[in-house]
C-alpha cells in the first residue's frame, strides 16, 4: 500500500493540492473512514491531502442571527462539548454525542462524516431537520452554498465535485417555539452504527399540540439521507398524538426503500421506522 502523504495547512493549500493531483488526490480529514478502507485495501488513493493542520477549517462560531457556523474539520467531540452548540442547538450536541465512542469522536470530523455519506450515520439527519447549508470552495476559487436537502445524492455519494472542499456548515436559528429531538436506534451493541436514526424539529400552534411545522430527517434506513416530506405535510395541522401520527405514517411512508445490511433487513427497518419516527416526534413535543 503505497501512497503519498501531503500535509495541507489551510483551505487554500488543500484546494491547490486538489487542483494539482486531480482525481489521484483525496482529502484526509480525521481519516477514520478512509484508513479503514485503505487498510482493508478496498480503496487505495495515491495522494492523501492531510488537512490535520488546516486551522482555518477547524472552528465553531456563532453567527450574528443566533445561528452557528462549524468548520468542516471540527471533530465530533468538539461539537458535542461546545457550550455554544449546547446552548443554541442542543440537537446537534446530542447527535454528535451519539456517534460511536469518544475515541472515534476525538478523531472523526463533521466534514468527514457528511462527505463520506455512509447511510448508517447520525449527523446528516439532524442537519436536514435544521435545514443547514454547506459552504464549499473549488480549486478554481469558486464557491457554492448547498442546502442540506440537496447535499446527499446517492449511496455513499454527496454533491461535491472531485476538486471541491467542504469548508463549513451553517445553521440558522430555529424560529421561536421549535422543539427538537433525535433517536438513535441500534440492533446490536449500543456502540454500533445506527440501524435507524431520526432527527425532528417540531413547531406547534399555541395549544402546544397541533402541528404547524414538522421536520423529519432520516438516516440509517435508506441509501440516501432525506427529509420525510410527505409525512411532514401529512402531519401539518394535525394534533400530534400517537393515533394521529401513526395514521399519517401509515399513509405516507409507503415510498420508504429501506436497505438490508448486517444490522437488519429491509423488512425490519420498514416496520420499526414508523415507530421510531412517531416516538421522536412525540419526544420533541415533550422537550422544553
Partner 1 sequence: MAELSYIGKSIPRVDGPEKVTGRAMFTLDLQLPKMLHGRLLGSPLPHARIKNIDTSRAEKLPGVKRILTYKDIPEGVEWGVVPVCYDQRPLASDKVRHVGDSVAAVIATSEDIAVEALDLIDVDYEELPAVFDPREAMEEGAPVIHDRYPNNIAFTKHMEFGDVDRMFDEAHHVSELATASSRQMHGSLEAHVSIAEWSRKGDVTVYNSSQCPSLSSQYFAKLLKIPEAQIRVITNYVGGGFGGKATSKFNIDFLSIIAAKMLDRPVKFYYTREEEFLLGTHRTKQFHVWRIATDKDGMLLARDTKMVVENGGYSDYGPAVGGITAHMGGSIYNYKAYRHHADVVCTNVPPGGAMRGIGNAGYAFGSELAMEKHAEEIGMDPAEFRIKNFVKKGDTTIIGAKITSCGVSECVEEAVKRVPWREKQPSSNGKRRGYGLAAAVHFTGARAMGPETAGAFIKMNKDGTVQLLSGTIEMGNGSDTTLAQICAEAIGVRVEDVRIINGDTAVNPYGWGVRGSRTTTIDGEATRLASVQARNMLFKGAAELLECDPNDLDAREGKIFVTSSPERQVTHSEAYMKIYEKEGSEAVYTASSYDSPSETPDPVTGYGNWSAAYAYGAKVAEVEVDTETGAFEVLRVISTNDCGTIVNPAGAQGQLDGGAVMGVGYAMMEDFEVEDGMPVNPNWLDYKLPTTQDLPELEAVLIETENPSGPFGAKGLGEMAQLGTSAAIGNAIYDAVGVRITSLPITPEKVLTALNEKNGE
Helix-helix angle 242-252:266-286, to 10 degrees: 140
Q: Which stretch binds ligand FAD (CB under 6 A): 83-91, 99-107, 230-238, 239-247?
A: 99-107
Q: Which stretch binds partner 1 (CB under 8 A): 52-60, 105-113, 211-219, 270-278?
A: 270-278
Binding mask 100-119 for ligand FAD (x = CB under 6 A): x---x--xxx-xxx-xx---
Q: State yes or no: residue 275 binds partner 1 (CB under 8 A).
A: yes
Q: Which stretch binds ligand FAD (CB under 6 A): 79-87, 97-105, 147-155, 221-229?
A: 97-105
Q: How far apart are CA 74 and CA 30, in angstroms?
A: 9
Is 27 or 33 the residue whose CB approaches partner 1 more closely? 33
Q: State yes or no: residue 31 binds ligand FAD (CB under 6 A).
A: yes
Q: Which stretch binds ligand FAD (CB under 6 A): 82-90, 120-128, 235-243, 248-256?
A: 120-128
Cβ atoms within 10 Å, residue 4: 12
Which of positions 83-102 make contact with partner 1 (CB under 8 A)?
101
Which of positions 177-206 make contact with ligand FAD (CB under 6 A)?
193-194
SS3 category, 243: helix
Place of cell 394521529: 244
Q: How far apart are CA 73 and CA 85, in angstroms?
A: 16
Which of positions 250-269 make contact with partner 1 (CB under 8 A)?
262, 264-265, 268
Q: How far apart are CA 64 and CA 49, in angstroms?
A: 33
Q: How far apart are CA 32 and CA 109, in angstroms?
A: 9
105-133 burial code (b ≥16 CB/10 A, e <16) = bebbbbbbbbbbbebbbbbbbbbbbbbbb
Q: State yes or no: residue 18 binds ligand FAD (CB under 6 A).
A: no
Chain contacts with ligand FAD (rule: CB under 6 A): 26-34, 72, 99-100, 104, 107-109, 111-113, 115-116, 121-123, 160, 165-166, 193-194
Amino acid at each position: 500500500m503505497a501512497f503519498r502523504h501531503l500535509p495541507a495547512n489551510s483551505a487554500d493549500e488543500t484546494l491547490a493540492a486538489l487542483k494539482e493531483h486531480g482525481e489521484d488526490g483525496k482529502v484526509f480529514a480525521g481519516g477514520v473512514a478512509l484508513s479503514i478502507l485503505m487498510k482493508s485495501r478496498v480503496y487505495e488513493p495515491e495522494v492523501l491531502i492531510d488537512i490535520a493542520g488546516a486551522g482555518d477549517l477547524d472552528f465553531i462560531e456563532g453567527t450574528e442571527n443566533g445561528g452557528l457556523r462549524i468548520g468542516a474539520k471540527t471533530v465530533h467531540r468538539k461539537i458535542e462539548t461546545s457550550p455554544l452548540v449546547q446552548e443554541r442547538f442542543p440537537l446537534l450536541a446530542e447527535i454528535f454525542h451519539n456517534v460511536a465512542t469518544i475515541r472515534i469522536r476525538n478523531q472523526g470530523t463533521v466534514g468527514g462524516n457528511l462527505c463520506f455519506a455512509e447511510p448508517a450515520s447520525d449527523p446528516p439527519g439532524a442537519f436536514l431537520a435544521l435545514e443547514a447549508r454547506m459552504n464549499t470552495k473549488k480549486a478554481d476559487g469558486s464557491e457554492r452554498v448547498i442546502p442540506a436537502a440537496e447535499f446527499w445524492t446517492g449511496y455513499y455519494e454527496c454533491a461535491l465535485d472531485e476538486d471541491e472542499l467542504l469548508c463549513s456548515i451553517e445553521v440558522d436559528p430555529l424560529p421561536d417555539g421549535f422543539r427538537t429531538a433525535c433517536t438513535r436506534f441500534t440492533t446490536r451493541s449500543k456502540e454500533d452504527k445506527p440501524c435507524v436514526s431520526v432527527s425532528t424539529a417540531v413547531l406547534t400552534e399555541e395549544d402546544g399540540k397541533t402541528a404547524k411545522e414538522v421536520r423529519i430527517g432520516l438516516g440509517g434506513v435508506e441509501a440516501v439521507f432525506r427529509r420525510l416530506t410527505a409525512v411532514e405535510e401529512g402531519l401539518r395541522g394535525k394534533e400530534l398524538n400517537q393515533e394521529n401520527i401513526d395514521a399519517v405514517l401509515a399513509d405516507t411512508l409507503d415510498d420508504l426503500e429501506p436497505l438490508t445490511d448486517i444490522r437488519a433487513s429491509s423488512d425490519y427497518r420498514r416496520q420499526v421506522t414508523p415507530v421510531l419516527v412517531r416516538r421522536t416526534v412525540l419526544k420533541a413535543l415533550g422537550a422544553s
